[in-house]
Structure 1
Amino acid sequence: MDINAIWVPQALESIGVILGTVHALGLPPLESLAPEVAGMPITEYDRDPEALRRAVETWRGAARHFEVAFTTAEIRSHVNARLDSLPVNERRYWETVLHESRAFWEPIRFAALSLDSVGRPIPVANTDPATRLFLEDLTSDVLRGASTTDRVLKEIDVFARPYPVGLFVDRVGPLVANDAYATPAVWRMFRDDLYHSPRVVWGREVNLFVLGLTNQIGAAQDANGAPRDPSLASYVRSLKEILTQTVDAVEASGLKHNELWSYRIEGGRLVPLRYATSTDIQLWNVTDLTVQFALAGVK
């Protein structure tokens, strides 16, 4: 989905915290502290906190415009069409994966990558929602009755569902995108832009997803590792299964410290490989230490 639908409400809420702190400290009005912001939206938010609240709610509602869902019959139709467009060896490999995984058997829903020129979702599954899983305490929403475990699990189902239905590829990890539900025109765009395509896993997105899962698990358990509520037992178990599946696949790739990695299919086997222009070390790589620490704390 458009990452702004995740980042902007978070940023607006942060502005509210900052403005509240300025007031609590008894500092002068914002325009006195920083005259250059006069006339900007932040000054309105400073004078009218209700306007800021409305802005947050508006942006939080933006995510609904990206929601798409497909029945099992629709999944089969879209995925088969996409497979028919692939080289024979790749098509046969993915057909075998589908047969063994039964990924067709359940409907699927996900947040589309973007909207088209008239505001309709372009149905490309993607890893952007990993950011929301990382930033927001979805489990606490469940505990206070504002959400359900089923809703949270459906949001991350696409990460665990085997490609080409979902994003998950064994011995590789969650692909950054899946264009099977989109049009041939979109397929061609991704063919010309492999960096953002269903041919790659982004290490940054993997780390966000893993940290998001550990956050949700931690929020659902007490200090002894027991569910905070008995009704959360199956939810925690599902989260841990997805976490294990993801970590094991990424470890098996042997490429988890790369910026991104890809794969090729040869001799009926999938072979992980380094992406041609991948950078081995970037600043975000230090988050691997955080991931290791978070995984060590999962009970």
Structure 2
Amino acid sequence: MKPLRTFAAVVAVALGLAASIGAATAQDKMLRIGFQKYGKLVLLKSKGSLEPKLKPLGYSVVWTEFPSGPPLLEAVNVGAIDFGNTGEAPPIFAQAAGAPIRYVAYEPPAPKGEAILVQKNSPLKSVAELKGKTVALNKGSNVHYLLVKALEKAGLKYSDITPAFLAPADARAAFERGSVDAWAIWDPYQASAEVALEARVLSDGTDTVANTQFYFSSEKFLATDPKVLDVLLDSLREVDAWAKTDIHAVAEQLSPSVGLPVPVIELALKRQAYGIKPIDAQVLAEQQKLGDTFHQLGLIPKAITVSDIARKSGS
């Protein structure tokens, strides 16, 4: 994960400034949460229900948005944040790089929440036709695994396409101007492209990958105060239960803060999974398949054992 060191250092400085400001309050401890423009963490931030629960425990909360999972986990790696969530692929790269992260919870699969998109007038009709084409994606993100498995399912090798490693905003720009043939992306960026650009889904994760969302703590934070972590996870479960009861209302509440239209957010929320679960053997076994696949492709430098970084019972 060395290419992200500079970015992470900037994040660390920014959060250091935020911590200085927070120190002026009566709080003597700080929970630093990294979130993305989707999922239950952004809902929890919007609802504001976590802070009152942590105040009696002497904790305040600092929220920092990340464009994707890899830089978020790199921020955990360098000690800039304590907790966050990503898709299934970023922790594989993070573990291979030695990041001190721990799996603490997950959501059920949401296979329609990521896809390989093409422009509405693209001649491409199937994944098999991507041979020799350029596909934009965020390196090390959940769609990296989607692309690998979708190609495999279509009888192609990863080496049959040219990956263009771009962050979501840059990838969308390249997609719009036709610099790439396809774009592997997740919600809400996926939903935005479908609504605003009329992008067409070449393949989503259905019958190909699970697209599981995971929640992570830094090893240090988990060891220091697991009770605070449990309060956070309970708060996430509450907001999860609230969100699935009225998706339209949730979309209306989120729209101003995430800067996306209600129909886009609503489409993304409908494809999310609901129910936040403790880590179990089955989900770890599925993650191990990712680790083995990426090692075989040479995308990570060494074999890993995923269960080594899972939260142990009672911790």
TM (norm. structure 1) is: 0.30
- The higher radius of gyration belongs to 1
Comparing both structures, which one devotes a greater share of its residues to strand? 2
